[in-house]
Amino acid sequence: MAGKDDILTRSAIDDALAELPDWRYRLGGLATVYKCPTSAAALELIAAVGRIAEQQNHHPDLDWRYNRVFIRYTSHDAGSAVTQRDIRAATSAGEAAAEAGAAAEPGLYRTVEVGIDTPDPDGISEVWRVALGYRKDRFGNLEDPYGRGPRVWFQTTETPNPHRIHLDVHRSQAESGPVMEKTAATGALMDRDHAPQRVVVTDSQGNRLCLCTEAGDTQVYPRHANS
């Protein structure tokens, strides 16, 4: 079982990822997508990852979409952060993917969060937690205990935006460029003051979303100020 003392620093994670080109760091976890030659091959890879999980007693969040397998490792018992167990598991899963003839497509793995502006998070968080069937994480964010729905977090501000709810769309910095360019081409307002960590996008009706990367994330999920 991992503990807080086992949490790796971002520097240590980046050093490990230099030897794991298939994987990306994402909000306290390691994530990738493997494209297999066939759907049957994807099922074989899933079975291989399952055997690794049982051998190492460390289980990933895993999603199967025809010939693609989405995988994310995090150490839940360390507060949903990256530990050496995740590095070891990702290494083994990568070896299994190579044996299956799978190609890594880490840019396909995106994570969506819901941000809510409020001067009083405690005054509303329980409503959202109960309605969604979520639980609180170590930072007071709300998360799906089964990893299916988006995390909900509360942006504390005395001056909430008129559009209080926005989405944070997380992609790896290495693959974020084309999405930024295509989004800008739609005519949306692009606030790049805090790039590359995030670019605040506002549509023609004032609705906001943030295109986020792992830049600046120190495994304590620094949240952005009112934007």
Domain CATH number, residue 182: 3.10.180.10
130 located within any domain: yes
Q: Check whether 221 has a pLDDT greater than 60.
A: no
Which of these three, 92, 108, 124, is where a domain ends? 108
What secondary structure letter does DSSP report for 225?
A: P
- How much is the pLDDT for 227? 44
23 located within any domain: yes
- Count of beta carbons in the 10 Å neighbourhood of residue 227: 17
Distance CA 7, CA 119 (A): 31
26 and 79 share a domain?
Answer: yes
- Count of beta carbons in the 10 Å neighbourhood of residue 18: 8
Query: Among 207, 112, 95, which Cα is nearest to 151's?
Result: 112
Using omega within 30 degrees of 0 as the cis cutoff, is the peptide bond preceding 150 cis?
A: no
We report the CATH number of the domain holding residue 47 as: 3.30.1360.20
Q: Which residues, 6+ apart, have CB-to-CB distance to 173 below 8 Å? A: 196, 213, 214, 215
pLDDT category at 2 given cuts 50, 70, 90 is: low
* Structural domain for 198, as ranges: 111-212
227 located within any domain: no
Q: For residue range 43-64, what is the model confidence (pLDDT) as tens digits?
A: 999 999 999 999 999 999 999 9
pLDDT category at 226 given cuts 50, 70, 90 is: very low
Which of these three, 93, 108, 123, is where a domain ends? 108
221 located within any domain: no
120 and 98 share a domain?
Answer: no
81 and 99 share a domain?
Answer: yes
Burial 44-63 (b: 16+ CB within 10 A, else e): bbbebbeebbeeeebebebe
165 and 183 share a domain?
Answer: yes
pTM value surpassing 0.85: yes
Q: Check whether 214 has a pLDDT greater than 80.
A: yes
- How much is the pLDDT for 219? 63
8 and 100 share a domain?
Answer: yes
Q: Average pLDDT in the 130-157 region?
A: 93
Q: Which residues, 6+ apart, have CB-to-CB distance to 161 below 8 Å? A: 117, 208, 226, 227
Domain count, the chain: 2
Name the amino acid, one letter, at 174.
A
Of all residues in the chain, the percent with pLDDT exceeding 90 is: 83
87 and 168 share a domain?
Answer: no
219 located within any domain: no
pLDDT category at 131 given cuts 50, 70, 90 is: very high
Q: For residue range 155-195, what is the model confidence (pLDDT) as tens digits?
A: 999 999 999 999 999 999 988 999 999 999 999 999 999 99
Q: Check whether 223 has a pLDDT greater than 60.
A: no
224 located within any domain: no
pLDDT category at 224 given cuts 50, 70, 90 is: low
CA-to-CA separations, 180 to 15, 41, 71, 174, in angstroms, rounded = 27, 33, 24, 12
226 located within any domain: no
120 and 26 share a domain?
Answer: no
90 and 31 share a domain?
Answer: yes
117 and 28 share a domain?
Answer: no
Which of these three, 87, 108, 129, is where a domain ends? 108
- How much is the pLDDT for 4? 61
220 located within any domain: no
139 and 180 share a domain?
Answer: yes
100 and 120 share a domain?
Answer: no
20 and 83 share a domain?
Answer: yes
